[in-house]
Chain A
Amino acid sequence: MYRWDFAPVLANADLLVAGLVNTLRVTGTALVVGVALGLALALLRLSGRRLASWPAGFVIEVFRTTPPLVQLFWFFFALPLVAGIEMTPFMAAATTFSIQSAAFFAEVFRGGIASVERGQWEAARAIGMSRGQALRRVVLPQAVKRMIPAFLERAIELMKTTTLVATISYADLLYAANEISQRSFRPLETFTVAALVYFGVITVVSQAARRLERRLAVSGESTVR
């Protein structure tokens, strides 16, 4: 019978904490940039002008239909050669996950904007607002509220996807766990602890998301998936 021994893992807890901080840093960066870029992509796609909507659609489709790990490798190994720039693992990860989540957020935004009744647009135009004003003042505020559940789900997916950065040696939580397991020869304990830490953090976030979703449901707004 195997004897579990968590002491070597706990002795390196500081590494794991530093890893978790790095995981959250990548997630946070990708979330902020991804939402902004996603809104821009969605607006371009809905703009009604082919010159704007086709390139936006192409970016969205490409980043949604290729594996994130392939994108990460491309940005880390190939882009520096094409563009002649230095790429740190953090930059590569932030770039990849920002654009990738932007592609997914764009679809969330598009669904949210499309779900707002046409009458809202027409009424806003009728009282003299421009298209941009109607979007900003009338349509988006309603759309954003409906998008919140889909948005939070995407954010959780994003956090799980960031584990891929461990493959390009960025010191995130998973990478730290791998280091510790090789040093201590305790893979069972280290990977179990790493899995539990992810489970804990993600469960807290998704419970909060669920509660928020219920409150939104009470206030009578339908949700967009």
Chain B
Amino acid sequence: MGHRWDFASVLDNYPALLAGAVGTLRLFALCLVIGLGLGLVVGLARSARSAWIRLPTGVFVEFFRNTPVLVQILWFYFALPILLPFEIGKLAAAALGISLNSAAFSGEIFRGGIQSIEPGQWDGARALGMTRGQAMRRVILPQAVRRMLPALTNRAIEIFKMTTLASAIAYVELLQQGRLIASLNFNPIEAYTAVAILFFICLWPLVRLTYALERRLARSD
């Protein structure tokens, strides 16, 4: 281990890292909101009574769950613009790939959560005169979301990690900036170590939160 660690060469480039962090957070926020929001829609559609709604969403979920995210991002960036009359930016392509992928995965979480609620809750809500929609909104979902919370924070962690894939299409995020710093200063060891540490610092609290939620849920059930 003869290497002399020199993190100064990384810290000198903090504006580049900062720009990368902003890019990572922007992509993460976008994918979190769209991914989980669409996931709820997918989960509801998968629990719908009509097969006309259930089957197409099933195909969507299977397709996005069974293909790699990186392939999806590259497809949206390189292939989709050929079919469309307008350009697709790097942020849009990465956000599309990651959001749709997360929607498919979190859709299954929402479906599982909704199905885990006892049928008696439905019957009780209907007996009080609520419509199916009202029962879902007022009785089923609030209980289901509580049970799904650990799975959903896990999804958020996965989304955060997936944002690095946007560097494959040169979107400015932390890893991309790390690569830039490494190639300009010939310090890949420090640059990539710094990026890894930054991700660890960002995600560690989320991981602890997930553990805490899991424990609390295990106790209350």
Contacts and interface: CB of A to CB of B under 8 A. Distances in A.
Interface of A: 2, 61-62, 64-71, 73-74, 77-78, 81-84, 156, 159-161, 163-164, 166-167, 174, 178, 181, 187-188, 190-192, 194-195, 198-199, 202-203, 206
Given A82-B1, A188-B83, A174 B68 contact: yes
Contact of B75 (A81, A164, A192): A192
Contacts of B168: 166-167
Contacts of A160: 67-69
10 contacts: A65-B157, A66-B196, A73-B192, A77-B182, A78-B191, A81-B3, A82-B1, A174-B74, A191-B75, A199-B66
Contacts of B139: none
A191 B74 contact: yes
Given A67-B161, A81-B188, A81-B189, A2 B66 contact: no
Interface string B93-114: 0000000000000000000000
A161 B68 contact: yes
A66 B14 CA distance: 20
Contacts of A82: 1, 3, 189
A70 B196 contact: yes
Interface stretch (B31-39, B122-130, B141-149, B199-207): B199-207
A195 B199 contact: no
Contacts of A174: 68, 70-71, 74
A164 B69 CA distance: 10
Interface in B63-93: 63, 66-72, 74-75, 78-80, 82-83
A69 B78 contact: no
Interface in B173-221: 175, 178-179, 182, 188-189, 191-193, 195-196, 199-200, 203-204, 207
A206 B79 CA distance: 27
A217 to B, nearest CB: 16
Contacts of B162: 67
Contacts of A192: 75, 79
| Nearest 7 interchain pairs by C-beta | A77-B188, A187-B78, A67-B161, A160-B68, A67-B164, A163-B68, A188-B79
Nearest to B63: A199
A166 B74 CA distance: 12
B212 to A, nearest CB: 15
B153 interface: no
Majority-rule SS of A interface residues: helix
Given A64-B207, A69-B167, A188-B79, A74 B193 contact: yes
A67 B68 contact: no
Given A167-B168, A195-B67, A206-B66, A74 B82 contact: no
A74 B161 contact: no
Contacts of A194: 71
A103 to B, nearest CB: 12
Nearest to B72: A195
A195 B75 contact: yes
Contacts of A159: 68
Contacts of B68: 159-161, 163, 174, 198
A174 B79 CA distance: 14
A5 B164 CA distance: 32
Nearest to A203: B66
A65 B193 CA distance: 14
Nearest to B2: A84
Given A65-B203, A161-B68, A191-B71, 12 more contacts: A61-B207, A67-B163, A69-B165, A70-B195, A163-B71, A166-B70, A188-B78, A195-B71, A195-B72, A195-B75, A202-B66, A203-B66
B49 to A, nearest CB: 24
Contacts of B203: 65-66
B6 interface: no
A185 to B, nearest CB: 10
A221 B66 CA distance: 27
Nearest to B74: A191
